[in-house]
Amino acid sequence: MSKSLIRLVSNTTPFNSVESGILDHMYEIFDGYIKGNGLSTLIRHKFKELYSLNKEELMYFYSLYKLNYVSSGDFSEVQNVEVPKMYDFNVNYLQDVSAYNSIDHNVIAANDSDAAEAMEYDFDYNTEEVSSYIDDNVSIGDYMDVFDSEITRNLNKPINETVKIIKNILNEYKKYKK
């Protein structure tokens, strides 16, 4: 198992050469700024495959780009990186008003709008490019009869937040108390 490229929230050090290179390439793909649906642009450019990113890492870099955007396109100049807090979202598409037919997917994203964008892509192209199928199904007709969606966060804590710091503080406290 390889090491993930997702930073801990507390790691605000400047980008390393790999991160900077990936973000610089995103800048080129977006021609400097994100037009419309940026996630589908990345997927169509085979960005995930090019850098051997998993679903979570793709969503992470998408958010990282948006949070640390520089108009010059040179991400190596960012000194204090703003790390997106990545959450586990459940996106539920409801096919009819009675919600009899629905489909659930899991998405790791920084916010609910990114989660909705990921699910929209996967639903439209009937794939699991950036989300993971959980349950149920919908009948896809001529008009893709989805009338509503519900997005919920599964956990309150971000997946890239560490508890090691808290454990170290508690261990030091225990040593001090003895």
- Looking at residue 161, its pLDDT comes to 78
Residue 26 buriedness (CB in 10 A; 0-12 / 13-18 / 19+): buried
Tokens 């993971």 belong to residue: 132
Instruction: Tell me the whole-structure pTM to 2 decimals.
Output: 0.80
- Looking at residue 143, its pLDDT comes to 47
- Looking at residue 65, its pLDDT comes to 95
- Looking at residue 129, its pLDDT comes to 87
Tell me how many degrees the CA angle 60-19-43 measures, rounded to the nearest 5: 50
> pLDDT under 70 in the chain at which residues?
1-3, 95-100, 133-147, 162-178
Contact present, 92 and 102 (Cβ < 8 Å) = yes
Q: Which residues contact 48 (CB under 8 A, 6 or more apart)?
A: 42, 54, 55, 58, 129
Spatial separation of the C-alpha atoms in residues 27 and 47, rounded to whole Å: 12
- Looking at residue 172, its pLDDT comes to 57
Q: What separation in angstroms does the CA of 38 have from each of 11, 47, 71, 88, 152?
A: 25, 12, 17, 20, 22
Spatial separation of the C-alpha atoms in residues 148 and 102, rounded to whole Å: 10
Other CB atoms within a 10 A radius of the CB of residue 116 amount to 17
- Looking at residue 155, its pLDDT comes to 74
- First-last CA distance in the chain: 40
Q: What DSSP state is assigned to residue 80? A: S
Tokens 């390393």 belong to residue: 16
- Looking at residue 100, its pLDDT comes to 62
